[in-house]
Amino acid sequence: MDQPSSLPPALTDRIPQEIYDSVIAAIGGEIWPTRALGAASLVCHAWEASSRSYIFYSVSFTPTSITFLAREAGNRVLMSIRCAKYVAELDSDDFIFLEDLLQEVLPKMPNLHSLSFEECNPEIITQVGRLSETGGRITTLDITGDGAGQVFSSFRAFQVMVAHFKGLQTLSLSNILWEDGAGGSLEGENIGMDPKVPSTLRSVDVWRDGTSGILLWLSSAAETIRSLQLPTLLRTELHLVPLFTHLEHLCLSFFDAPQPGDLARILSPCTMLKTLEVSANIVLPYGSALDAPTLETTTNPHQVPWYAELLSSVSSPLSKLSLQLCHIPEGEVDPMGWKILRDLLRTSRYAELKQLDFKVGDYDEFWASRSDCERCIRRELEGLDPRVQLSVGVRTWTSPFVYHD
């Protein structure tokens, strides 16, 4: 069998760059693409140019990488960088030394649109933001604190930092702190008007104990915010959710148990809501049968389970609903009442539902396989509109249970 031979340059030079780009894009879509992209970049100049934008799409900014990028060799990749990640390795002393280098390289990264900070000193976050943001080019900001050492000097300092990104569209916050209280209170600060929330903000994800200050401030931009993820919502913060009237996607979980009536009208003002993800556990009964009590037989002190209150408050025709199920060894919680859910799904607010997802934890302790678990759930939802796509997946992380005293 003849060995394949390469095309002569006279022919390869006539292949449009778009063809090379398509090949490299397919390689870049693999789970572990770096090694394959590195090999592809050695094939020819055209492949190298296409590979570079994938290999250097996201770069971790450490003292070593910043020094490299500031050299002439780094100029070949600066145009490709779209996401800059800063980690705890870059401490304040390093930053003082590297600030001049950053001032040199950041203006040469015109395609940079995303900043990510992991356990970085807030002073570094503020300074990098000042150096990176030109003309509203930063659209994504992701800040993860360690929940202890990295503390903004005040809530206002945090507000000023966020407000600096005039073109911000996506904001993700996890375990961030400031010195004037866990809830972000501004009491005692004579500061006048709050810094303005970026008018371009569309998506917000807040993971911290106490979100009232952040939510109250962000609510001034409620007309532009379309997606909100609140996985650690306190009972005292529930009243802030209805302020975001233009939401299309909402993900909720609760740090402590809602009381009767807390969720009765919580989503009524959200008349544009399309997808609802409830990541608080609804508990399945023990054993292989899913014969949870209905409202008539439950011994739970609530007249209506919390999830029924929540789902009944929906005022817009949802297209997607996600619920989380789990077995629990102890504690009084609201169990899943399948008749309650079936009745709710027959109401007009769910007439346009296209997708119903369940995420199940600990399924392997009670069923032989995920397929068995799925069959049981499908049996309980017999009669579901055939146009609704039902899926059952595995919960891969632990969210709060909703306990009752």
Average pLDDT score over residue span 281-305: 54
Asked if residue 139 has pLDDT above 70, the reply is yes
Asked if residue 327 has pLDDT above 60, the reply is yes
Q: What is the mean pLDDT of the chain?
A: 79
Asked if residue 367 has pLDDT above 60, the reply is yes
pTM for the full predicted model? 0.81
Extents of the domains making up the chain: 16-55, 58-394
Q: Where are the alpha helices (DSSP H) in 225-345?
A: 306-312, 338-345
How open is the CA angle 109-112-114, to the nearest 5 degrees?
155
**Can you read off the two tokens belonging to residue 343?**
């009745």
Are the C-beta atoms of 171 and 145 separated by less than 8 Å?
Answer: no
Partnered with residue 147 across adjacent β-strands are: none
Average pLDDT score over residue span 156-185: 84
Average pLDDT score over residue span 245-255: 94
Asked if residue 250 has pLDDT above 90, the reply is yes
Identify the pLDDT of residue 46: 52
Q: Which residue has the tokens 């200050």?
A: 213
Average pLDDT score over residue span 258-278: 94
Chain Cα centroid distance, residue 24: 28
List pLDDT tens digits, range 73-116. 677 788 889 999 998 777 667 777 788 888 888 888 889 999 99
Residue type, 75: N
Query: Worst-scoring range by mean pLDDT, 42-51, 212-221, 222-231, 248-257?
Result: 42-51
Q: Where are the beta strands (DSSP E) in 255-354?
A: 275-283, 320-326
Pick the CATH number of 58-394 from 3.30.70.260, 3.90.79.10, 3.80.10.10, 3.65.10.10: 3.80.10.10
Identify the pLDDT of residue 290: 42
Three-state SS string across 32-45, please?
A: CCHHHHHHHCCCCH
Residue-wise DSSP of 198-248: PTT--EEEEESS--HHHHHHHGGGTTT--EEEEEEE-GGGGGGGGG-TT-S
